[in-house]
Structure 1
Amino acid sequence: MKFSILSGILANALSVAGVVLWDGRFNEFTSSTDLNNWSWGNQVGPYQYYIHGSSPVTSYVNLSPDYKNPADMGSRQGAKITLDNTAYWNGQNMRRTELIPQTTAPINQGKVWYHFSLMRKDTNAPATTREHQIAFFESHFTELKSGWLSGAPGVSDPLLRWCVGGSTKWSTEWVAGVWHNVAYEIDFSANTVGFWHSTGGDPLIQVVAPVSASTSSNGADWHVGVLELPRDGYPDTTEDYYWSGVYIENGSLSKGVSGPDSVPDPGPSSTTTSSKPVSTTFKTTTTTKSDQTSALPSSTRTTTLITTDHTTGISSSSTRTSSSAISSTSAVGCLASQWSQCGGVNWSGCKACAAPYTCKYQNDWYSQCL
C-alpha cells in the first residue's frame, strides 16, 4: 500500500499539469448533505443534485476519506454512490443516482479530459446480471458499462467496459478493491474520443487511441454516478460505487492519480490555513425564460468572482451578467436513442426519438426516450 501511494505521488510530480476547468473532487464538502444546497433556483456548488430517489441524500451519496483512492493526494475524500430499493427517480423504472457538473466552464469545447477513479467492493457489489451505465453522457457517445448488457446472451457478465456509441472498445474483469483511474480524452472539435487508464497509484496510459464518435454535450449532461437498466426476474439489491479524483481539464493531460493539485484544499470543516495566499471562487446563477418572439428560451447568467487574500482576510468581488438565446439547431435531423434525454429547459440536443421510442415528459427540465 505504501509503495502504491508513493508511486502515485511520483507519477503526479512527473506529469505536466493541465488546467482544471471544473473540479468535482468533493474537497469543499463537509458532508453529502451539502448537495441539498443546490436547486434549480439556487445553482451553487460543483454539482447539480436532482437525479435520485425519494429518500434523504445520505441514502444515495456519502463522503469519507475512506472512500477515495489512497494514492489520490489531490482529494480530501471520496464518494460512495448507492443504488437501493428506493433509488427510482421521477417515476422511472430504472434505478439511478447521478451527479451533474454545475459549471459554466467550456467543458464541452475543444479537447478536454474527463477524469475520475472508480472502485467496487464485495460488500454491496454491483449486480453482474443487469446493465449499468456509469460516467455517461446523455447521448451515450462514451461511457463505462458493467454487468450483463441488455440483449446479450447468457445471464451475467463480470466485465467493466469502456464503450463508444454502445460498442465496447476496452474491457477488464471488475475485481473488488481495485481502483480504476480513467480519463476520457474528448475532442469536441474533431469528434473523437480516446481512453486513458491505470489502476491503483500508477500513472495513466493511453489504452485506446482516439476514435470517431458523435460527441454531443451541452455542458450539463455528464453523469457522475450510475444508471441501472431494469431486468425482469432479478430483484433489487443494494449496490455501492466508490468515486475519487473527479475533475475536467484542458491543456495538457495530468497523468498522475492526484491530478494537477497534489495538495488538496483543506475544506470548510478544517482549521488548517491554506498555503495559497489568494484564492478565487465563482458563484453563478442562471435564469431561463421563454422568448415569445423566437419560440426559443433565453438565458440570463450572472457570474460573481470572489477573490480572497488569505494574508489580510480581505475579499473583493465583481459581477458579470450576460443574456443569450439558446440554440436549437443541434436538434434538427437528430434522433435520440432509448433512455436518452430528448427535451427540457436548456436542452439543445435531439428532440425526437428513434423508432419505436417516443419522447416522454418527466418534468420541466427533463424528457426521455422511452
Structure 2
Amino acid sequence: MYFNSIALTTALLAGSSMAEIIWDGRFTDKSAAEIDKWSWNNQVGAYQYYIHGAGATTDYINISPDYANPADISSSDGARITVDGTSSWNGQSMMRTELIPSTKAAINKGKKYYHFSLRRGADNAPDATAEHQIGFFESHFTELKYGVDGSNGKLQWMTDGKAQFDMDFEANVWHNVAYGIDFDASTVEFYHSTGGDKLVSKAGPMKASVSSNGADWHVGVLKFSKTKEDWFFSSVYIEDGELTTSISGPSGGAAPIKASSTSAVPSKAPVTTSSSSAAVVKTTSSQVAPTSVTAVSSSSSAAPTTLQTMTKSTSVKSSVSSTSAAVAAPSETDDAGCTVEYVYV
C-alpha cells in the first residue's frame, strides 16, 4: 500500500500537541547534587543557585520524591525550599531562597508559558502576617504573593503590584500555576488548578509592564519575616507554543523515555541529561535511579545572569498599593573574578 509521506506527516503533526518545553526545571534525583555544585565557574544543571543564606545547601534546598506533586507522573521529584532567619542574602533584611533558570533558550521572547506547582505543609507553615513574594520576576510584573495586608490568608496572583486573583491556601493542597506571558504584546494571563485537575484560565490576558532579561524568574520565596518556613515546588518548566493544561506536561501524561547514561554523582543518583527538540514531538532522556523513578531535567549552561534584584513590598487593604524600600547596594568579586554591584529597589 502506498502512503503519501507528506500527508502522513501532516496528519501526525495535526494530532500532536504543538507545545514544546524550551526549559525543563522539573526536579530529578540528580538535582540536589547539581544545585550543590553550582557556581559561576561551574554552571551545571537546570538552575542557577546564588540567592540563599550562608548555610549548607541542604539548609535551604532538599530534593525528594515526597516533595513532588503526585498527579504529575512526568516528574519524579520535587523541591522543599526552606526560608528562615539565616536566609539573608548579601546582608538584605528580607529572607530569600531562590533558584533561577539556567538556559540560553529564548524564554523571554514571544508567547511563553511558565509552569510550576506549589504547596505548603502544616509544619513550618508560612507566616500569614508577613509578605511573601513567590515565583516572581525582578520587575514584579507577575508573581504570587502571600501574607499581604488585607489578603485574609489568601494566596494572590499579582500584576504590577495589583491583586488580580485570590486562592485559598490550605495545607497540603497543590496549586498548579501557569503564567501566560506575551513578551511582544506586554500581556499576562493566569491559569490555575489544584491537585491533579487540568489548568483553567482564571484571569487575563491583561496589560502589564512585561520585562525580563531571560535570567530573572525566581523559583522560590522572598519574605519579610525570620520564621522558619517550608515551601514545596514541583512540575517547573517553560513552554512554547500552545498551553499544556495537563499537570504532567505536553507528553500528555506519558512517562519520560528512559536512556542510559555513563556518568554519575558519587553517593547520589546517576547524572542524566535532556535534549531540546525543535520538532513538535519532544524527546527527553532520563535514567532509572536506585529505589526511585526519574524524570527529565535540562542541564544547559547559561551566561552569568544579572545579579540586580528588585523587591517591592505591597500593602493591600480595600485596594492594592505598592511601596518599595531602598536597600544598600554592596559589591563583591564573583567566582569568575568580576566585580559585581547589586542594586536593590
- TM-score, L = length of structure 2: 0.75
Residue 365 of structure 1 deviates from its aligned partner by 4.2
Partner residue in 2 for 1:199: 194
For 1:202 and 1:76, locate their aligned partners in 2 and report how far apart those are by CA, in whole Å: 18
Note if 1:259 corresponds to 2:259. Answer: no
Say whether the 8 Å CA contact 1:90–1:362 is kept in structure 2.
Answer: no
Paired with 2:26 and 2:203, the residues of 1 have a C-alpha distance of: 25
The one-letter amino acid paired with 2:38 is W
Say if 2:94 is the partner of 1:101: no
- What is the CA distance between 1:16 and its match in structure 2? 3.3
State the distance in 2 between where 1:287 and 1:128 align: 35
> Hey, what does 2:74 align to over in structure 1?
74
RMSD of equivalent CA atoms: 3.2
* SS state at 1:69 partner: coil
Question: Where is the strand percentage greater, Structure 1 or Structure 2?
Answer: 1
Q: Percent of pairs identical after alignment?
A: 50
1:67 Cα deviation after fit: 0.4
Query: 1:175, 1:279 → 2: CA distance?
Result: 35
Which amino acid is 2:202 matched to?
V
- On the 8 A contact 2:30/2:271 being kept in 1, the answer is no
* C-alpha distance after superposition, 1:311-347 (max 9, x if no partner): xxxxxxxxxxxxxxx9xxxxxxxxx97559xxxxxxx
Whether contact under 8 Å (1:115, 1:246) holds in the other structure is yes
Aligned position for 1:190: 185
Q: Which amino acid aligns with 2:329?
A: K
Is 1:44–1:285's contact at 8 Å kept on the other side of the alignment? no
| Structure 2: 5+ residue stretches without partners | 1-14, 275-281, 287-297, 314-322, 333-338
Q: Is the 2:97–2:221 Cα contact (8 Å) retained in structure 1?
A: yes
Cα pair distance change 1:282/1:145, threshold 3 Å: closer
How far is 1:26 from its partner?
A: 1.4
**Residue 287 (structure 1) shift:** 7.5
- 1:34 is displaced (CA, Å) by 2.3
Q: Given residue 186 of structure 1, which amino acid in structure 2 is its aligned partner?
A: I
Q: Which residue of 2 aligns with 1:5?
A: none
- Partner amino acid, structure 1, of 2:192: H
Is the 2:137–2:212 contact (alpha carbons within 8 Å) kept by the matching residues of 1? yes
Q: Equivalent residue of 1:172, what SS?
A: strand
Corresponding residue for residue 319 of structure 1 = none
One-letter amino acid matched to 2:23? W
Tell me, in whole angstroms, the C-alpha distance in 1 between the residues paired with 2:250 and 2:197.
15
What is the CA–CA distance in structure 1 between the aligned matches of 2:257 and 2:331, rounded to whole Å?
38
Q: What is the DSSP-based 3-state SS (H/G/I as helix, E as strand, rest coil) of the residue aligned with 1:245?
A: strand
- Give the equivalent residue in structure 2 for 1:162: 157
SS at match of 1:176: coil
Gaps of 5+ in 1: 1-13, 231-235, 289-325, 327-335, 341-353
Whole-angstrom CA distance in 2 between matches of 1:287 and 1:208: 34
CA gap of 1:208–1:366, structure 2 versus 1, over 3 A, is: farther
Q: CA deviation at 1:131?
A: 0.2
Structure 2 residue identity aligned to 1:260: P
Shift of 1:80: 0.4
Which residue number in structure 2 is paired with residue 136 of structure 1? 136
Alpha-carbon distance, 1:64 to partner: 0.7
Which runs of at least 4 in structure 1 moved beyond 3 Å after TM superposition? 14-17, 264-268, 276-288, 336-340, 354-359, 361-366
Structure number with the bigger relative contact order (C-alpha 8 A, sep ≥ 6) is: 2
Question: Match of 1:23?
Answer: 24
SS in 1 for 2:166: strand
Whether the 8 Å CA contact 2:20–2:241 is kept in 1: the answer is yes
For each residue in 1:155-198, what CA deviation from the matched residue of structure 2 results, as whole angstroms up to 9, or x when unmatched? x8411000000000000221111100000000000000000000
How far apart in 2 are the matches of 1:206 and 1:15? 22
Deviation, structure 1 residue 124: 0.6
Report the TM-score when normalising by structure 1.
0.70
